[in-house]
Amino acid sequence: MRLPTATVVLLGSLLATALAEEAIQDSSSGGGQAQTLHAKPLRISRAAHIARAAVTDHGKTASPSKLWSTYDSVLSTAKYIDLTHTIEPNMPIWRGFGNITFSPAVNKLTGKPFTYAENMFVATAYQLTTDQMGTQLDAPAHFNPYFASSDEIPATFALRKLVVINVSDKVAKNSSYAMTVADVLEWEAEHGQIPRRSVVFVRSDWSRKWPHVNTDVFPQVLLETVQFLHLERDILFHGHEPLDTDMSPDFASEAWLLSHGYAQAEGVTNLHLLPPVGCLLSTGFPKFLGGVGSYVRYVAVCDPHWPHGVQPGTTPEAPLPEYANALDWSKHGGHRDRI
Ligand SMILES: *[C@@H]1O[C@H](CO)[C@@H](O)[C@H](O)[C@H]1NC(C)=O
Ligand SMILES: *[C@@H]1O[C@H](CO)[C@@H](O)[C@H](O)[C@H]1NC(C)=O
Ligand SMILES: *[C@@H]1O[C@H](CO)[C@@H](O)[C@H](O)[C@H]1NC(C)=O
């Protein structure tokens, strides 16, 4: 594919020089200009308050793709809702796993942490005690070595219809309530049959107290319910707010799911901001070789008229915002923050 000819209109000499050099390098090397721009986020965001760059494409942009027209007519104005906990030290974790810690990455050549002043950049070292923490996509290999590990989960998991079944009223009365097949049928009586290959998230409101949650007593999903969802409704995977599927000593629901080749989502949050039907779920997960759990970013993409969520372009995206306070490790110890 021929690269579009981009004219970079610049107001600000600092950024102008840098970008012009990169554009020349790009056209000669054949590399994509967008890629080069994204590879230098610091320079761009620092310069953003004095320079504003507009990239005008003089080439043909006609798109015969249905996806692009769907993006323009629906997804570009949809509401995006993050369903993910931030990974941080001392966050709730299953009692068998140690706490995770963050530290400044150390330069092997000097034995000292990287600093903006000396190295131009900083980096972080994460000491992770488990791949089963925070908001996850459990790979079947967590319980059965013959089924997929994290890196073997197909890219097709990236985008699906999202169903939300709300059992928060029952959980309010019984904190270890286990969702039944009757709850699913009740939902279907109101909203219609759960679409095949969709993702089903169970809203319990357990996560609304995060990080002050009880990881020993929590809302559950019965074995017969996950079996019904997969065997009778042919869903892609289900997800729940707690860090486990049920409280039985033999992990009945989770063991059945994973040892039959089904993935599941755990530690999802913000389900109270979603409608029962109509949203899509975007799933972004890293690929650790042979990993059996995955840190995940789940984002719901909902109707443009839905009252919750953020529309693309309504908050700074490119450049991303510059903050009044710098990230600083020293004031917090366990991680960087801006306070
Ligand atoms: C681990 O994290 C918990 C909070 O989730 C905290 O109460 C506990 O003190 C931490 N343990 C260690 C050894 O830091
Ligand atoms: C979910 O259940 C809670 C508690 O009963 C209720 O307040 C809320 O309106 C329900 N939400 C939806 C979308 O059904
Ligand atoms: C709460 O729900 C669990 C799971 O269904 C059940 O075992 C337990 O008996 C219930 N507790 C009460 C007080 O109803």
Q: Is residue 89 pLDDT above 50, yes or no?
A: yes
Cα–Cα distance, 245 to 268 (Å, whole number): 12
> Would you say 251 and 96 are in contact if contact means Cβ atoms under 8 Å apart?
no
Q: Is residue 60 pLDDT above 90, yes or no?
A: no
Choose which residue among 169, 173, 183, 241 to substitute to test ligand 2 binding: the one with the highest number of ligand atoms within 8 A of its C-beta. Answer: 169
Instruction: Indicate whether residue 314 lines ligand 3 (CB < 6 A).
Output: no
Instruction: Indicate whether residue 267 lines ligand 1 (CB < 6 A).
Output: no
* Whole-number pLDDT of residue 62: 60
Instruction: Indicate whether residue 171 lines ligand 3 (CB < 6 A).
Output: no
> Would you say 241 and 207 are in contact if contact means Cβ atoms under 8 Å apart?
yes
Ligand nearest to the CA of 203: 2
Distances (CA, A) of 53 to 20, 47, 185, 239: 12, 10, 53, 42
The whole-number average pLDDT for the span 65-75 is: 94
Cα–Cα distance, 96 to 87 (Å, whole number): 18
Q: Is residue 329 pLDDT above 70, yes or no?
A: yes
Tell me phi and psi for residue 150, to 5 degrees. Answer: -55, -45
pLDDT in tens, 151-191: 999 999 999 999 999 999 999 999 999 999 999 999 999 99
pLDDT in tens, 275-325: 999 999 999 989 999 999 989 999 999 999 999 999 999 999 999 999 999
> Would you say 71 and 194 are in contact if contact means Cβ atoms under 8 Å apart?
no
Q: Is the peptide bond before 154 cis (omega within 30 degrees of 0)?
A: no
Reference 103, options 85, 83, 123, 132; nearest CA is 123
Q: Is residue 17 pLDDT above 50, yes or no?
A: no
- Retrieve residue 278's tokens: 């109509």
Q: Residue length, the chain?
A: 339
Q: Is residue 241 pLDDT above 80, yes or no?
A: yes
Q: 231 CA to middle of ligand 2, Å? A: 27
Cα–Cα distance, 293 to 139 (Å, whole number): 5
Tokens 């990230």 appear where?
A: 327
Instruction: Indicate whether residue 278 lines ligand 2 (CB < 6 A).
Output: no
Instruction: Indicate whether residue 65 lines ligand 3 (CB < 6 A).
Output: no
- Retrieve residue 226's tokens: 């996950």
Ligand nearest to the CA of 222: 3
Ligand nearest to the CA of 202: 2
Mean pLDDT of the chain: 85
Instruction: Indicate whether residue 90 lines ligand 1 (CB < 6 A).
Output: yes
Q: 282 CA to middle of ligand 3, Å? A: 33
Q: Is residue 273 pLDDT above 80, yes or no?
A: yes
Instruction: Indicate whether residue 178 lines ligand 3 (CB < 6 A).
Output: yes
Residue nearest to atom 3 of ligand 1 (CA): 90
Q: Band of the pLDDT at 36, cuts 50, 70, 90? A: very low
Q: Is residue 59 pLDDT above 70, yes or no?
A: no
Domain with CATH 3.50.30.50 in the chain: 136-302
Question: Percent of the chain, pLDDT > 70?
Answer: 81
Looking at domain 136-302, which CATH architecture does it have? 3-Layer(bba) Sandwich (3.50)
pLDDT in tens, 103-144: 999 999 999 999 999 999 999 999 999 999 999 999 999 999
Q: 168 CA to middle of ligand 2, Å? A: 7
pLDDT in tens, 187-220: 999 999 999 999 999 999 999 999 999 999 999 9
Residue bearing the bigger pLDDT, 6 or 221 = 221
Residue bearing the bigger pLDDT, 58 or 148 = 148
